[in-house]
Structure 1
Amino acid sequence: MSTTTSTPVLLAPRHLTKHLKSFLDKSAWRDKAKLIIHCSQITFDQPSATTAGSTTGGQDKDKDKFNGCDLTQYMAMALLPVGPFLHQPTTNTGIHSLWDLTQDPSSLPSNDLSSVDWPAPFSDPILQKTIFLTWLSPTAFPTPKHLLVQTPLEKLQHATSEFLLPYLQSWAVSDLDHKQEQEQGEQRLTPELLPELIASLPRKWEHYSDFTFLPPTAFLTAPWPAVLKRLIALDQQQGGESGHNGIMARWEKLIQDALGSTHIARKAIIPVQDILRRPKIRPLAGDWKLHNRYKSWIEAEEEGEGERSQTNLVEHQEMSSDLSSSKSGIVMNAINTSGTGTGSGAGAESTGLYESTASTTSTNSDVLPTPSNFQKAYWSETCQNQVFYTWSPMFTMFSAGNITEKERVAKNRPLFDARNKVVVDLYAGIGYFTLVYLIHAGAKVVHACEWNPWSVEGLVRGAERNGVSWKRYLDEIVRIKKDHGQKEPGQEQEQQPFTTGHPTPCHPPPPQLITTTTTTTTIKKRKDYGQLIVYPGDNAQWIEYFENTAHHVNLGLIPTAEPGWVLGVRALCPLEGGYLHVHHNIRVGEEESFKSYLLQSLRDLFSTWKKCNKEEWSIEIRHMENVKSFAPLVFHYVVDIECRPLSFTTPL
């Protein structure tokens, strides 16, 4: 495979540099490895250039002129050897003005700069006579310093160009490739496609400590699928799948180095009907351990079932957010210390990770939330506001956009002062707000409820990482057996009912706890954080255990947490009251109507659940925070509602 021995360089007056750079970037012609530098910093070691009067450092001003232009006042930028700059002249490799090259296309082999759609004012012949093109060896450029520091995007673009160009050149001259393309109707892969490939590289992504999420369309827009398919086929022919020097291994290493991550994945849209908010992602690079079989750079089309099973995404049980319609007798494994046990009932619907007994397909064993799979799966980590979060990207998501709300919880004392108080987080996830309440807001106890077993595991791991003591209750199916006794064989297991609208008269004794307090050696100075108590599964099953105890209730479920409003009211302390922090997606223009609806709904709930002491409650909205945009004209809001009995007196 041929390689380029010299670099095309464009010399332009300083006042034109900004506009010319913008044009070259849009055309994906500029080499991002060498940003704009002073022309005097380049060593012109070619005989024709020297005779033209250009030397290093401006030793003689009379020799620093070319065609009457003072090159010491010029800036230089390296170009990619693509498009009109692909071929280097075999002779007369000195400095050429754009005007000369457009007037005499034969001066460059197979190139015609007159066909380039130069924008105004670069189409002006006068300006074209002041812009020059030359070819220099890479050693002509000075040692990269602050001017040559590359951004991750520039690293990705430059490394991709260097990696793909030899293959595109080889494919372009291959008669066999041409024949196959003609027979199969495939797109010809030539070096002329390189600018298009570079321009379609992802320009933004989500980056965490060792993990990067690419956009859903990354490497899926043409001609990327054809290029990657050809690379994979060539890699397989060379047997590179089992080696670190294979084509795809080097391609993955290139992406990892450019983005600074060991694990790369392409994200997909989270299904709205999935109440567990589980992502469907495509692993691309890195060791995904238990789930390496899902890695693929190309998406399978309508192939056979066998091939499709090797490239599909992790298939999750589709669940409706309407719990009353999902009572289908889902078979589930109760997660305990040994990872065994079965059960059924209303609580079984809360996991959503197990196939229904009515389905003829079986769930892949690598998606089951068992202790063994937890140990074998890949777990990512990130730190925000001095709080570490841990999650498994294959099964749970990390919402980076909630950082402003986390900061508000950590720093807004008037609304979030939880020192020596009890907090209930009804939708804890991996601990977005749970850990902030414990580490920054000073909560004494946080009761955290979470549906997704993978999120529960991430929450516990995050607590350990931050040095927070934690306890996790047994799954609700085991709890039912312990509270109501084991049923006789053949007798239907009694179900724990959902909220019925009637207050529970008293608290049952708490169930056995399955873990003990843990410590970590990663925290230099151990702080006396409060205690985290985790309740897996449906939060309605556990309301009796934190009812009438909370000073703050976080309802962090979007698009709406309305099903949990009644639980939030029940959780509030009847003597002191507290705050409900309600998350909700609101369309532009409907803010006031939602606030009215929310207040009226809460008043009705308080009249039902907090009337035991026959006391009126003050329910007022103290703040409404716009967290982030969720969809066009739809924003994620948090409404802080202070709920106090009228007899409550604020302590001094």
Structure 2
Amino acid sequence: MRRAAIVDPHGIPSCPSPRDRPFLHCPTTENKALPPCSPGPPLVTIMSTPASSARQKRPKKPKAANAIEAAVTSFLVQRPPSPERDVPVLISQAPKRWTIYEPMVLLPAGSFSSPQWTEFLNSLPEPEASDLWAAVLAQISRTASNKTPLTHLAANEGIPLHLQDGAEDAEETENVLRSPSGLRVLHGDFGAARLGGATPGLQDFAAAFWVSTRQNGIYQTWAPRWTMFSRGNISEKARLLGFHSPSPSDSVGRSSQSQHRVAQSSELRDRYAVDLYAGIGYFVFSYAKLGLRVLCWELNPWSVEGLRRGAIGNGWDVRVLQGEELSSIDMRGVLRGKERIVVFLEDNAKARERLAQVDALENDSEVRGDGDVKDAVEVLHVNCGFLPTSEPVWRDAWEMARQKGADKAWLHLHENVGVNDIEARKGEIQRLFESYKGGDHSRDVSVEHVELVKTFAPGVWHCVFDVYVYSRTSSRPT
């Protein structure tokens, strides 16, 4: 508080004493007394407020309740109290996150599966449990910006690497198709859990429940009961989309480490990418958006149907080769087609053989249907996107990349690697491909980059090793 002049009983102000004015100081050049204060209007005491207090911050708005927490709380408090039900514990154990794949909400693994929640859900009649899940969907819908109503709820329990056929003494088999057998359906009709026949047909596809999403502006769709979806690959998809673009750090007249990758869209047209594990089109669509034609191999018919629907949703022509058609393929006719994407519903072990058939057509000027292309298929990318390792197809990928007519190509090898072993693994892959090269002096090979996509487990990274295969006359990595 600042002190003003002291007012005497007669209303005449007097000079404040030094004790009353510790912050007032009048500098003088001579050691003279200050003149007495002249009479004036009475002074009032003024209270000063610190600057920090004057600018009072507005109170923060209360944080909005988590949508699932709000729905669970509302559901629980409306039920008759029970000494066996610990409401605060149930609320605290409800999931806090979710992902929307229209029209489905997918909860993380372990959601509503604690002992307390398991006991509570087992005590609920089915109609009341359905009311709970409907309330969760309704509350999430209120907070989401989706135009499509959210109607289905499930928990993601991961993709098992091995499957068992149900018998107690049955041996586990590798889950090659990456079927999401652990999906826990909570609400909504996800379609039949079993098929009438050995393989799905058009009626099965039509009756199934399909969801969709957009990543990097690309539409993707799949049947969650039958097909996995890996949200974490979005960064790798984006990297491929920009693979042939100049780096932001590049400047005119100065080479960069990625300069040999740069290509105009006209240079990519009529070149090819090969995806040996196509899935629903995870990386296929990135290559297609670049303008490349894509040859794909996939074993899961549900994934192929998702790829087909996704391609159409993005405006790309697509052809699926399957069944008896595979035994009498005319590769000349396939390549004459105008489809941006061609899918082979078969084992990728056949891919090398198929491309060898193409190589035999090298001198046919009509091989691509435009009459202007003299060379055979020029493979610019080979994608090997399978975990925990895609090594079984690396030799075939190398042979595809080094085929005559392709002066440079990139292999994208996916593998899970311990964080402390990445550099060592890079060296191993370099030596492995040097052994593939053998006495071929027309090609060189370089593991030029390792992309860390996402953590797969503590201390383990999903890595993509970019292997550059180039002719002696083409651009060398810098």
Aligned partner letter, 2:180: P
Aligned partner letter, 1:216: A
For residues 512 and 648 of structure 1, do their structure 2 counterparts lie closer, same or farther at Cα, with a shift above 3 Å needed? closer
Matched, 1:426 2:238: no
2:64 maps to 150
CA distance in 2, matches of 1:640, 1:449: 20
1:370 pairs with one of 201, 213, 232: 201
CA distance in 2, matches of 1:392, 1:375: 11
Aligned partner letter, 1:442: G
Tell me the secondary structure at the aligned position of residue 644 of structure 1.
strand
For residues 453 and 255 of structure 1, do their structure 2 counterparts lie closer, same or farther at Cα, with a shift above 3 Å needed? same
For residues 541 and 604 of structure 1, do their structure 2 counterparts lie closer, same or farther at Cα, with a shift above 3 Å needed? same
The answer as to whether partners of 2:381 and 2:410 remain within 8 angstroms in 1 is yes
Matched, 1:620 2:469: no
Tell me the secondary structure at the aligned position of residue 290 of structure 1.
coil
Matched, 1:542 2:351: yes
1:279 pairs with one of 172, 180, 183: 180
1:531 maps to 340
Tell me the secondary structure at the aligned position of residue 563 of structure 1.
helix
For residues 474 and 366 of structure 1, do their structure 2 counterparts lie closer, same or farther at Cα, with a shift above 3 Å needed? closer
CA distance in 1, matches of 2:198, 2:117: 30
- The alpha carbon displacement at 1:512 in A equals 7.5
Matched, 1:453 2:279: no
As a proportion of its length, which structure holds more helix? 1
Tell me the secondary structure at the aligned position of residue 307 of structure 2.
helix
- The alpha carbon displacement at 1:649 in A equals 5.7
The answer as to whether partners of 2:68 and 2:96 remain within 8 angstroms in 1 is no
For residues 289 and 149 of structure 1, do their structure 2 counterparts lie closer, same or farther at Cα, with a shift above 3 Å needed? farther
Tell me the secondary structure at the aligned position of residue 192 of structure 2.
helix
CA distance in 2, matches of 1:411, 1:189: 57
CA deviation string 1:86-135 (max 9, x = no partner): xxxxxxxxxxxxxxxxxxxxxxxxxxxxxxxxxxxxxxxxxxxxxxxxxx
Aligned partner letter, 2:285: L
2:146 maps to none
2:326 pairs with one of 471, 479, 491: 479
The answer as to whether partners of 2:382 and 2:412 remain within 8 angstroms in 1 is yes
- The alpha carbon displacement at 1:203 in A equals 1.7
CA distance in 1, matches of 2:201, 2:299: 15
- The alpha carbon displacement at 1:149 in A equals 7.1
Tell me the secondary structure at the aligned position of residue 398 of structure 1.
coil
CA distance in 1, matches of 2:306, 2:392: 24
Q: 5 Å matches for 1:70-85? A: none
The answer as to whether partners of 1:189 and 1:227 remain within 8 angstroms in 2 is no
CA distance in 1, matches of 2:124, 2:77: 12
- The alpha carbon displacement at 1:247 in A equals 2.7
Q: What TM-score does the superposition give when structure 2 sets the normalisation length?
A: 0.69
The answer as to whether partners of 2:109 and 2:156 remain within 8 angstroms in 1 is yes
1:574 pairs with one of 388, 391, 404: 404
Tell me the secondary structure at the aligned position of residue 224 of structure 1.
helix
- The alpha carbon displacement at 1:412 in A equals 3.0
Tell me the secondary structure at the aligned position of residue 420 of structure 2.
coil
Tell me the secondary structure at the aligned position of residue 641 of structure 1.
strand
2:460 maps to 634
1:442 maps to 291
Tell me the secondary structure at the aligned position of residue 630 of structure 1.
strand
- The alpha carbon displacement at 1:166 in A equals 2.9
For residues 367 and 228 of structure 1, do their structure 2 counterparts lie closer, same or farther at Cα, with a shift above 3 Å needed? farther
For residues 263 and 511 of structure 1, do their structure 2 counterparts lie closer, same or farther at Cα, with a shift above 3 Å needed? farther
The answer as to whether partners of 2:67 and 2:136 remain within 8 angstroms in 1 is no
2:382 maps to 553
Matched, 1:386 2:217: yes
1:526 maps to none
Aligned partner letter, 2:275: D
Aligned partner letter, 2:282: Y
The answer as to whether partners of 2:68 and 2:95 remain within 8 angstroms in 1 is no
Q: 5 Å matches for 1:185-200? A: 188-190=83-85, 193-200=86-93
Tell me the secondary structure at the aligned position of residue 583 of structure 1.
strand
2:318 pairs with one of 457, 464, 470: 470
For residues 155 and 593 of structure 1, do their structure 2 counterparts lie closer, same or farther at Cα, with a shift above 3 Å needed? closer
The answer as to whether partners of 2:322 and 2:346 remain within 8 angstroms in 1 is no
Aligned partner letter, 1:559: P
Matched, 1:230 2:132: no
For residues 619 and 254 of structure 1, do their structure 2 counterparts lie closer, same or farther at Cα, with a shift above 3 Å needed? same
Report the RMSD for the aligned CA atoms in angstroms. 2.7
- The alpha carbon displacement at 1:75 in A equals 11
Matched, 1:290 2:192: yes
The answer as to whether partners of 1:366 and 1:373 remain within 8 angstroms in 2 is no
CA deviation string 1:577-621 (max 9, x = no partner): 3111111111122112211221122122233xxx7xx54321112
Tell me the secondary structure at the aligned position of residue 551 of structure 1.
strand
CA distance in 2, matches of 1:468, 1:230: 50
Q: 5 Å matches for 1:311-350? A: none
Matched, 1:589 2:420: yes
For structure 2, list consecutive stretches of 5 or more residues without a partner in the other structure. 1-55, 142-149, 162-173, 245-257, 360-376
Q: What TM-score does the superposition give when structure 1 sets the normalisation length?
A: 0.51
Tell me the secondary structure at the aligned position of residue 177 of structure 2.
coil
Q: State the identity as a percent.
A: 30
Matched, 1:255 2:136: yes
CA distance in 2, matches of 1:226, 1:596: 52
